[in-house]
Amino acid sequence: MAAIQGSSTTMSYEDFLKAYDGIHAEWVHGEVVPMTPVSPRHQQIAIFLTALFQHFCEQRRAGVVLSGPAQMKVGDVAREPDVMVLTAEHADRIRPSFVEGAADMVVEIISPESRGRDRGDKYYEYEQAGVREYWLVDPQRRRAEFYHLTGDGVYELVRSDERGRFESRVLPGLWIEVGWLWQEPLPPLLGVLKEWGLV
């Protein structure tokens, strides 16, 4: 990690992949952006959502689920979403070392140091790239926001229903109760899968 903390060297994405393979970093406009370690709670939520999405997509043959440090490259930016889903029709965007083009759904779990980046740079990058659904999960503030890409190519905030449930448009049939994300401990995976009728 020390090798990249003071680095402002501009390099191609190909050189970045060779030099920083396995290091938690993003590539933005030719520059290496080191990422700080995440909190245990951040990681727990990422694992929880990844597992749920994985089971759902396997059962429905709906697509491919990836989690960080897998990278999504769009133009001259390569980010490491916490979780991303590519529907079956876009699975061909997966390359040996990264995803070439927009995932259909991206989840970013906000850390104190990433709040501005997740709500600012990444929000606009994902919107312009065509990420159809963007989830922003903020464990510290116990707040989750869900954005859907409209036909005009801009994000529209989608509210959870009166029961506190959000239903995905990218993965029809997948829903979560937002309150699950703040439970200590998180809900048992099997219990959620039963509620979804998958087991």
Q: What is the pLDDT of residue 21?
A: 81
Contact 158, 150 (CB under 8 A): no
Q: What is the pLDDT of residue 123?
A: 95
pTM of the model as a whole: 0.92
Across 83-106, average pLDDT: 97
* pLDDT tens-digit readout, 132-142: 999 999 999 99
Domains of the chain: 1-35 (no CATH), 38-195 (3.90.1570.10)
Q: What is the pLDDT of residue 118?
A: 83
SS3 per-residue string spanning 45-103? HHHHHHHHHHHHHHHHCCEEEEECCCCEEECCEEECCCEEEEEHHHHHHECCCCEECCC
At which residue do the structure tokens 């059962």 appear?
A: 59
